[in-house]
Amino acid sequence: MVSRGGQTHTRPRKPRRGLSDQNYVLMLLLPAAIFIGIFMLYPLGILVYNSFQHIKLTNPDSSTFAGLQNYLELFSSSRVRTSVGRTLQYTAVTLLAEFLLGFTSALLFSFLGRKSDLMRTVFLFPLMISPLVGGILWRFMLIDNFGIVNWVLYWMHLIKTPNDINWLSSPDLAIYSVTLPDVWLTTCFVSMILYAGLQNIPVELKEAANIDGASPLQVFMHIILPLLRPVIAVVLILRGIDAARTFDIIWVMTGGGPQFSTDVLSLQIYREMVRYGDLGSSSATATLFLVGLLIASLTLFFSIWKPGKH
C-alpha cells in the first residue's frame, strides 16, 4: 500500500474521526498538486523568467536581463506575425472541416440508429493512429510524382496530368494540405461526441415538435442545436486547442516549408530554440502563445458553454 507521511501521525487516533473533510481532500490532492507544481508550474515560471532574459542555449549560465526587448522584437518580427497567421489559418480550416464532416456523419449515424453500429466502429479506428504516422502517411499520398492522391484524381479524369497539383511544394496550397491528416485522424472524435450528444436529447421533445407541425429543419434549428450547444462548445474548444498546438503532423509533412508557408507557432518556437539556440526569444514567443491560447479558450469556454442554460 502507498505509505504517506501524514498517515503515520493519524493512525493511533480513531480512524473514523482522524481528519476533517478539508484536510482529507488536501491530502488526496497533495501528490497531484506537488507533481503539477514541480513539472508544470515551476517550468512555466522559468519560461516567463527566461522570456525577460538575453539567453542562449549554448551557454545558459550567462544570461543578462533584457526587460521587454524580446517581446518588442517579437512584435516587429514578420516571421512571428506570419506564423501567428498560419496558426490561425490552420486551426480555422481544420476546425471547420472536422466540424462539418463530423456533424454530418453524426446526424446520419443518429438517423440510422442501431443499424450504424458497425460503421461507427470502423469510423473510430484512425483515432488510435499517432498524428506522426498520419502525417507521414499523408505526405506519402500527396507527394509529387508518385503520390496516390494525384494519380487517383488523374484516373478519374479530374486533372490532366498526375503532376497537376503540387500539394506540398506549392506555398499557397501547402497550408491546406497539412490540415488533411488532422481532419482524417479526428473527424471521428467530433462525430462520436456529437453523436452521443444527439442520443442524449429526449425523443419526446422531437416528437412533440413533430406533432406541433414543425419541419425537420425547424426541429434542427430550434431544438437540436440549442440542446447540443454545450457539447458543440466542448468539441470546438478541445479540437481548436489541439489544432492550434499541432507540431508533429506539420513537422513530418513539410517541416514548416515551402518558404515558411506552413510555419505554425509551435514549429517557429521549436526552431528558434533548437536551431538558433535563442532561448530568450523562443521563451517570449512561447509565453505569448500560452497566454493567447489560454485567454482564447477560456473566453470561449465561459461564453458558449453555459452549462444548463437552454
Query: What are 64's strand-pairing partners?
Result: 54
The CB-of-96 to other proteins minimum distance in angstroms stands at 17
Nearest-angstrom CA–CA distance, 293 and 110: 33
Report yes or no: 79 and 232 within 8 Å, Cβ to Cβ: no
Q: Which of 90, 99, 109, 167 binds other proteins (CB under 8 A)?
A: 109
Rounded least distance, CB 245 to other proteins, Å: 4
Which parts of the chain are beta strand (E)?
53-56, 59-65
Site for other proteins in 254-293 (CB under 8 A): 255, 265-266, 269-270, 273-274, 279, 282-283, 286-287, 289-290, 293
Nearer to other proteins, 130 or 215 (CB): 130
Contacts to other proteins from residues 65-94, by CB under 8 A: none
Please enumerate in sequence order all residues whose Cβ is within 8 A of that of 211, keeping only pairs 6 or more positions apart, or say none: none
What is the contact mask toward other proteins in residues 184 to 203, using x (rule: CB under 8 A)?
A: x--x-x--xx--xx--x---
Please answer whether residues 52 and 66 qualify as being in contact, where contact means their C-beta atoms are separated by less than 8 angstroms. yes
Binding residue (CB under 8 A) for other proteins from 68, 72, 96, 148 = 148
d(CA 202, CA 310): 14
Q: Is 64 one of the binding residues for other proteins (CB under 8 A)? A: no
| Spatial distance between the Cα atoms of 129 and 136, rounded to a whole number of angstroms | 11
Q: What is the x/- site pattern for other proteins, positions 21-50, by CB under 8 A?
A: xx-xxxxxx-xxx-xx--xx-xxxxxx--x
Site for other proteins in 230-259 (CB under 8 A): 230-231, 234-235, 238, 241, 244-245, 247-248, 251-252, 255
**Alpha-carbon gap, residue 181 to 171, rounded angstroms:** 18
